[in-house]
Structure 1
């Protein structure tokens, strides 16, 4: 694989101008029975993935990288950050929320690493977020979950040799006023496959779909987190997801961290927007990625729009805004100020589109002309360096980077 920096991973994403969102998206009592407010929020693992490839050869490469990762997560003040995200939901009170990187981090005795066995919970992002919501009397429930990645690696935790188990999770939350049914979850056919010695490590991504009724409006709501470490895999996942959603009979809403956005080489975004409108883009919502890896930058450093609210032609955006993009939203921790996540979130209120002005759905022939790899393939990532050479890409990219670093070290040792 070629050497790619964060800018390379997000090549051509398009740098969104302006930092101000449109509208307020404020929490409200349900008065209009024909609107739905949705949100997407990446909670961010909290780790910095720089300099993995500078590690020394041997098993200590992995151990040192994971040890540093755990320390970085500790410094990111997970509990305070998730409290802040609960506060965002309190202010905006969306009906449906797509959550990415609701990680579960566990530790346990050293093992052979072939099967994840660690059970001692260090951080449970999902339960911590739910507790923070409950403390605010916010009646949200988890209606769908995927766990696309679950990997255990050696580390040193509080001076002791331990294994650390990283489990990636994405969620859909629904407010109590929302009725849900027909939940579907899955992993994409397209995924990363990395070879380390005689072991193949599969790194997957997933999606969750729920049928929801908000007042008199019924929608299909989908949440996803597309691959960050390979543009080829990301495009294939987007094509697969588009094909799963495009023939749904009713209004469709797709939210998530797509790691792709307007402008330049954007096969994943183009696959999706061939059939779905960019509601947040139409509303002028600004960039969503990324703050500094340690979350301590004083001013916003968002310069790419990769977190999206996409809608079928039966819906249009009435109002949209960002959260986590204003310095006043930073949390106080040990005399410092931290952003809740390295991403900003997006909240959008949607209404039925006028059927006389709804945009037509492109024909299958038109859709197939979009750039990128078709769904159903499983690209294999090989070589000596990882595409995920940057923080902010979550549990999956952490695993990719650590495993790839180990590969580099082993090859250098052989040389």
Structure 2
């Protein structure tokens, strides 16, 4: 069917965008019976829209941090840190990076926002650890993932990486409860990352930025001192092919705060994104937000979990991702060979989101959830990936 160019005059196009935005916000498609209303497919073929594919992907740091963060004394902190390091080893990121690279290579997003891109380092037991100083790299998730993605040629490039939570502690990896001293120091540096595809249309980026949230959770591992869990955001202004410029923002909101408090820490962090000084609120460009928000309203797990997502809705942010199947989360200690292959019933809620502040200018053409099956026996992450093909309207 030819595109009805008479409908794409600026005023008519804006009206069509309003209708389609309201429909796609609910996951619906454009009506097919109205001869004066362009369909989503017709908009996608018109010169007024450019398709841009974006992805949010939590790659999983490799272990549950609970045994360390909740340790009431130094002895249990040292043992808990050892448990964490052992679990990271068992959840072999080399295998998981293969699965993630396979998933990304087949999906081919133009821009990717990654979370929990961990860098694990060690130092000899007895080395100074406050502030963190270990330098021996045990696993660099970013370097390993890029190596897999670019194994056959340069496919993705690093646009920006932002260091977040950075913590080092003595660890007992022997598993002997009678041993209260360490055999190594373990250091975790969490990072959020933006990648851009290099083997498709040209992608221009400018104004690389990053920031730390003002509102942070404070923990006291081992009963030692209060330690802020550093989290934040990173952003770039991007232009994909002939698309208009837009702001691309990646974030990972707090995981461990008390959701029963109002407002929760993650809700305060969400508000920081959209306030006038934040990466979305300060932009004159339409914005696309991707990330692990640890929050959702329709699939709220505990009362109060939805606060951060609701804060974004209240700020006139609109969802541009699919909700089925659910993307979160597998509850497996080991994501490898002995893990359940196809049972995704554990994924019963949504925390990974793609949103926009410009519903008339950024529509969702299609979307999918990725990483729903293991690759060569390994899950890429406890999360699934969320991908949306967006229509950026001129």
TM-score range, shorter chain: 0.7 to 0.9
The aligned counterpart of 1:170 is 192
Report whether the alignment pairs 1:292 with 2:331.
yes
Please, which runs of 5 or more residues in structure 2 have no aligned partner?
1-28, 30-45, 176-181
Q: TM-score, normalised by structure 2?
A: 0.75
Q: Is the 8 A contact 2:67 2:84 kept in 1?
A: no
Aligned equivalent of 1:306, options 345, 351, 354: 351
How far the C-alpha of 1:202 sits from its partner, in A, is 1.3
Aligned equivalent of 2:363, options 316, 328, 333: 316
Q: Is the 8 A contact 1:286 1:305 kept in 2?
A: no
Deviations along 1:307-363, one digit per CA (max 9) or x if unpaired, are 0010122201001001112x3xx033xxxx331100001111100359xxxxxxxxx
Deviations along 1:111-135, one digit per CA (max 9) or x if unpaired, are 3432111111111000001101110
| Structure 1 range deviating more: 31-40 or 140-149 | 31-40
Structure 1 residues 277, 67: CA separation in 2 closer, same or farther (over 3 Å shift)?
same
Tell me, in whole angstroms, the C-alpha distance in 2 between the residues paired with 1:139 and 1:290: 28
Tell me, in whole angstroms, the C-alpha distance in 2 between the residues paired with 1:254 and 1:305: 15
Structure 1 residues 134, 53: CA separation in 2 closer, same or farther (over 3 Å shift)?
closer
Q: Secondary structure at the match of 2:64?
A: coil
RMSD of aligned C-alpha atoms? 2.5
Tell me, in whole angstroms, the C-alpha distance in 2 between the residues paired with 1:122 and 1:115: 19
Query: Pairwise mapping of residues 347-386 of structure 1 onto structure 2 (< 5 A)?
Result: 347-352=387-392
Report whether the alignment pairs 1:239 with 2:239.
no
The aligned counterpart of 2:230 is 204
Report whether the alignment pairs 1:279 with 2:301.
no
Report whether the alignment pairs 1:183 with 2:208.
yes
Structure 1 residues 54, 204: CA separation in 2 closer, same or farther (over 3 Å shift)?
closer
Q: Is the 8 A contact 1:90 1:136 kept in 2?
A: no
The aligned counterpart of 1:270 is 310
The aligned counterpart of 2:219 is 194
Greater relative CO (CA pairs within 8 A, separation 6+): 1
Q: Secondary structure at the match of 1:68?
A: helix
Report whether the alignment pairs 1:92 with 2:132.
no
Q: Secondary structure at the match of 2:312?
A: helix
How far the C-alpha of 1:198 sits from its partner, in A, is 6.0
How far the C-alpha of 1:286 sits from its partner, in A, is 2.6
Report whether the alignment pairs 1:254 with 2:280.
no
Q: Is the 8 A contact 1:46 1:293 kept in 2?
A: no
The aligned counterpart of 2:84 is 69
Q: Is the 8 A contact 1:238 1:271 kept in 2?
A: yes
Please, which runs of 5 or more residues in structure 1 have no aligned partner?
1-21, 23-30, 355-415
The aligned counterpart of 1:343 is 383
Deviations along 1:257-312, one digit per CA (max 9) or x if unpaired, are 0000123531100111232110114xx44311111232323311211111001012
Deviations along 1:357-406, one digit per CA (max 9) or x if unpaired, are xxxxxxxxxxxxxxxxxxxxxxxxxxxxxxxxxxxxxxxxxxxxxxxxxx
The aligned counterpart of 2:255 is 228
Structure 1 residues 130, 60: CA separation in 2 closer, same or farther (over 3 Å shift)?
same
Larger radius of gyration: 2
